[in-house]
Amino acid sequence: MAGEAKAARPVEKGNMGNHGQLINVLFTMLLFLVFVLCALFTVLIGGQVYENINARSQENFTGSVALQYVANKVRQGDREGGVNVIVVDGTPVLEIASDMGDYVSWIYYRDGAVCELFSDPADGLGLEDGLKILECEGFDVGQSEDKRIIHIATEGEGSGSLSLALRSGGGIDE
């Protein structure tokens, strides 16, 4: 009997040792799982933030570049009677006169993009012949009644608007 009891002790010790070992391994694995989950969430959050920043940067680009491009063209062509907003086939068009005879630049919105057409209106080219400058969700152009101020605006995400005063007075004798 005494011999049996003596024999049983090492078995108990071994069980306890195995149990402790199991908890150790389990805890370590649990810690590793937490580590992996945290790493995953950090990467996901980072990806989301990067996506947001990228989207916002893209919106800023399309919104402001279109406005600044048109503003630059207006400043360039700002001479008496040189900048006007006309309506062609129901589309408001910014018409900027050039130094080359009767040639004019038309800037307008068509098929999801700001388009530009440099031609002589007598040549018969239309809005469908313009070159796409920049894709954006919407673009609107207008002129004040006294023709001194040009309003340009982009639509959609990152949209903006700009009022441009014509230094030439918009064709009105001052």
Partner 1 sequence: MNSRKGSSSGIFLMEMIMVCGFFLLCAAVCIRVFIQADSMSRLAREMNQAVLAAESVADRWKVGASESEGPSGGGWPDQISWDQDWELLDVTDLDGGAKAWYTADLARQEAPGMVCHMTIQVRRGEDHPRRRQDAEDPENILYTLEVERYSPAP
In the complex, which residues of this chain contact partner 1 (CB under 8 A)? 14, 17, 20-21, 24-25, 27-28, 31-32, 34-35, 38-39, 42, 45-46, 49, 52-53, 56-57, 59-60, 63-64, 67, 71, 148-149, 158-166
**Residue (56 or 126) nearer to partner 1, CB:** 56
Contact 73, 129 (CB under 8 A): no
**Residue (67 or 115) nearer to partner 1, CB:** 67
Instruction: State the nearest-atom distance from the C-beta of 33 to partner 1, in Å.
Output: 11
Distances (CA, A) of 38 to 34, 45, 95: 6, 10, 57
Instruction: State the nearest-atom distance from the C-beta of 60 to partner 1, in Å.
Output: 5
**Residue (3 or 10) nearer to partner 1, CB:** 10
What is the dihedral angle through the alpha carbons of 85, 87, 88, 92, rounded to the nearest 10 degrees?
70
Contact 86, 107 (CB under 8 A): no
**Residue (99 or 174) nearer to partner 1, CB:** 174
Instruction: State the nearest-atom distance from the C-beta of 50 to partner 1, in Å.
Output: 8
Instruction: State the nearest-atom distance from the C-beta of 81 to partner 1, in Å.
Output: 16
Contact 115, 109 (CB under 8 A): yes
Extended strands (E) in the chain: 83-88, 91-97, 104-110, 113-119, 131-135, 138-143, 149-155, 161-165
